Structure 1
Amino acid sequence: MLATSLSIVVMVGSYLNAFAKTAILGLGFSLYFCFIVAITNPTVYNPSAYLDTGFALLCGIAVAAVAFSVLMPRAGDWISAQYMKQIRGLIAHGAREGDLDDLLYTFELSLRDFILMIASAPVDARVDRDHLIGWAFAALEIGRSMIQVRLDTERLGNALPTGWAAEQDAWLAALAEVFEAVTPQAAEGALMATRRALDRLPLGPNIAVDAETLTRYRMRALLHFTELTLRDDTFALWQTRQVQA
């Protein structure tokens, strides 16, 4: 009689287990119902304890089914959103306006650890790992450029052209906007700000090999690098996640 009674539940569980959307629920039918009717000591008859155990396991099955059917399908998108939020925060706040003491070192360390964390995370079809790593590398290179230009500006001080401080602030704000807004318009605005910064920082009439000139060359090289990154159509920062077939 016990086997006959269980066969109905097992049949229902096996049927539900044949479909991807109800597989977890079917597994619960197949396992937990069989578990609660497996009497530990047949000589002891305790209906209240038996019912308490059965209802507790049924509630556990319901909670597990809700978790796997409602929460898990959205977990990948939520994790991706949190990763992107962290990357944007490092650029918008850390590289743009963070304290320059050891900022370059801590910024690189944070993003490299972040890249390793993404690369070593379990494979999830809902998490576009390549897109996240691409974002992280873009943030690493652009963020390094922002911090290094700030350091060089502090080092050169009054030797830089008049109005450079305001132009640099506008350039930093435009780059931060690229990572915050993630739109083609923000990227175009950052590209224009980069070109204005290059115009504000000319090479100068005399080409001399000294520390000041080399520092200025490095600043221009970083600005050119940023311009090339923003103009790269193969990797657009504002591209949305591509749905994999």
Structure 2
Amino acid sequence: MMLEGGMVFMSDTRTNAGLDNISTFKKMTIWENPGERVITLLSAGNLATTQAVVSELDERLKAPSERSPSLLAVPSMFQAARLVADTLREVIDRHANVGQRADSAFNATLLLGGQIAGGPMRLFLIYPEGNFIEAGGDTPFFQTGEIKYGRPILVRAYDPKMTFAEAMTLLLVSFDSTVKANLTVGLPFDYHCYEKDGLKIGHTGRVQQDDPYFQSVSQGWGNALKDALEQQPKWTFDDAQRNPEDKG
């Protein structure tokens, strides 16, 4: 999520290959060269694919070359997005060409955001095909994975002037709504709040299932929805009462 004061990233940790094979894996990776750049990657999709992408990017930090540049060496966030997109495409192609191919079995979608000294903050949504789009004024936040339950909350309540604290509350409410409706999303949640032009890792942490604040937000949001529903005009099956302006 892009804010006037920075960027906020949040990811769940649930991965599943069916209801009897649910595990917890971190889906957030952060690379930092303090004072020069901070880059955050969030992943959704096939776990083997996303872990291979992160491993490839880490390996290039140790031995970068002109053909295989490092995320800590590319000159801009656009070039960082191109590097990650190319790596994702290569990993998917490599996996898909081994053994029996299943459509979309190795697909993954990535979010890449951050800032490099001399440039602005930028946020990209990277597709498994290797192409990507960038966040802007009309689309200030991106989601991957299971998005439909939490998205309406973000669309209604997002404000670019939000503080990090307000954005965290909004994202927790959005995630809570998704968790309530979909078993493929679950706690803990990892987060990173990056301050604009800070060029260093900001507030990071993990929200656990028993976190008192999260429990308060979850219960409070549920109660607020019930209260809002009770305050709505009562439905009636009488058309005349429901649409009094139609009376002749």
TM bucket normalised to smaller: under 0.3
Q: Larger radius of gyration, structure 1 or 2?
A: 1
Structure showing the higher strand proportion among its residues? 2
Q: Which has the higher helix share?
A: 1
Give the alignment's TM-score, normalised by structure 2: 0.23
Structure having greater relative contact order (Cα 8 Å, sep ≥ 6) = 2
Output the TM-score relative to the length of structure 1. 0.23
